[in-house]
Amino acid sequence: MEYIEAKNKFIQAWGTLGTSWGINKTMAQIHALLLLSTESITTEDIMQELQISRGNANMNIRALIDWGIIEKEHKLGERKEFFKADKDIWELARQVSKERRRREIEPILRVLDQVQDVSGTNEEEIKEFKQVTGDLMGFSLKIDGMLDKFTKSDSNWFYKMLLKL
């Protein structure tokens, strides 16, 4: 397979995978392009390579920066902004886990904590409500703890944990 074909196939696949992470396809495709780039690239390079509009490129670049998985780079004598992705896949996995924890797990933990002190006239409904939300709280706390350990760990810790399993 020629490089261009392989590159395009990877970018498309990464875009599809990105939707499983909770990010949109174009955002993941931009990330894939930056992962494969040997040097930092401009918004114009991204637009041309992926055939997307400036607005789409800018919006998704900002989102990737917010996720902490790409960064802006300034080059001496250049007015354009350049972007690059960290090539360390372990660090990428940790950063995505950290963001998903912040965006998904922490909000549901806050809600589950708020609804624990529930009252009402139907004791059966209240009991069921407390049982379900309590079970969800326990599960969410375990997931939160695992994600916390994962984001603070290095690859050796993770592999040791996998071997124990």
Summarize pLDDT for 146-158 with one digit per residue, the tens. 888 888 877 666 6
Looking at residue 97, its pLDDT comes to 86
Q: 52-106 pLDDT, tens per residue?
A: 999 999 999 999 999 999 999 999 999 999 999 999 988 888 888 888 899 889 9
Domain residue extents for the chain: 3-85, 89-164
Please state which of the ranges 14-18, 151-155, 159-163 shows the lowest mean pLDDT. 159-163
**Model's pTM, two decimal places?**
0.78
Whether residue 117 has pLDDT greater than 90: no
Apex CA 65: angle with CA 149 and CA 153, to 5°?
A: 15
Check residue 60 and report its DSSP letter. H
Note whether 109 and 137 are within 8 A (CB): yes
**Of 74, 98, 93, which Cα lies nearest the Cα of 84?**
74
Looking at residue 73, its pLDDT comes to 94
Q: Report the alpha-carbon distance of residue 20 to residue 22 in Å, rounded.
A: 5
Looking at residue 12, its pLDDT comes to 95
Note whether 116 and 137 are within 8 A (CB): yes
Whether residue 164 has pLDDT greater than 70: no
Q: Report the alpha-carbon distance of residue 120 to residue 138 in Å, rounded.
A: 23
The CATH architecture annotation of domain 3-85 reads Orthogonal Bundle (1.10)
Whether residue 162 has pLDDT greater than 70: no
